[in-house]
Amino acid sequence: MDPDHLGYLIDRYLPALVLYARQWCHAPEDVVQESFIKLAKQREAPLHPVAWLYRAVRNRAISESRAERRRQTHEGKAAARTALWFTPAEDASGLDAQSATVALGSLPLDQREIIIAHLWGGLTFEQIAELTGGSAATCWRRYAAGVVALRQKMGVPCPTGKTT
């Protein structure tokens, strides 16, 4: 793979991929690093490198979560509880990073995964459907349900004034 393109992917998608991997495991940086290395090892670059990276990160993170479950490290659990998923916004009108982390963490995994992949990863719902093994329509429904649930948990009022 072209080093410049690889550098662009690292600059653009590294934080989002770490956030995505964080849904399963407590060492997301290692998972993302191994995925980038795996991408560099490919003799032919994949057609959609971002989707490929998300798939690699997902598989590796799930495998890592199984290993973590076996180890049952208390340190990892404590670190996962205290780590913020987002940087605090300097803009006062922005959402609170702490409450967003808590609300997002309380969502079911299938909704949370789709929201992160779509909002911060930029994947389309077709790509997310290929990633998760469902249909694009199902992904869309889960995404909408998850965003509604987030808004409720974070106490953000509906723009139309309705309380959903």
Partner 1 sequence: MPDRQDDLNPGSDLAPFADALKRLAPQPAHLSRDALLFEAGKAAAHSRMPAWVWPSATALFAAISIVLAGFAATPSTPHIEYVNVNVSQPMPDRPPSTDSIDLTEAPKAAKPRSAEDQERTRMLQVRRDVLRFGVDMLPEPKATRQGPSQEVAAREVAVWLNLPPGTFTSHRAQPKKPDPEEDDK
Interaction between residue 85 and partner 1 (CB under 8 A): yes
Interaction between residue 102 and partner 1 (CB under 8 A): no
> Identity (one letter) of the amino acid at 5?
H
In this structure, what token pair is assigned to residue 1?
């793979």
With 0-12 / 13-18 / 19 or more C-beta atoms within 10 angstroms meaning exposed / middle / buried, residue 128 is: buried
Q: 69, 94, 106, 108: which one contacts partner 1 (CB under 8 A)? A: 94
Which distant-in-sequence residues (6+ apart) come within 8 Å of 98 by Cβ?
Answer: 84, 88
Angle in degrees, 0-180, between the axes of helices 109-119 and 3-21, rounded to the nearest 10: 150
Q: 49, 55, 59, 151: which one contacts partner 1 (CB under 8 A)? A: 151
Interaction between residue 45 and partner 1 (CB under 8 A): no
End-to-end alpha-carbon separation of the chain, Å? 47
With b for 16 or more beta-carbon neighbours within 10 A and e for fewer, the 110-119 pattern comes to ebbbbbbbbe
Residue placing its CB nearer to partner 1 in the complex, 70 or 91: 91
- Dist CA 31 CA 25 (whole Å): 9
Q: 67, 78, 79, 158: which one contacts partner 1 (CB under 8 A)? A: 158
Interaction between residue 52 and partner 1 (CB under 8 A): no
- Dist CA 117 CA 48 (whole Å): 14
Residue placing its CB nearer to partner 1 in the complex, 10 or 62: 10
CB of 121 to partner 1, least distance (A): 10
Return residues touching partner 1 (CB under 8 A): 1, 3, 6-7, 10-11, 14-19, 28-29, 32-33, 36-37, 39-41, 43, 83-87, 89, 91, 94-95, 97, 100, 115, 119-120, 124-126, 136-137, 139-140, 143-144, 147-148, 150-151, 156, 158-160
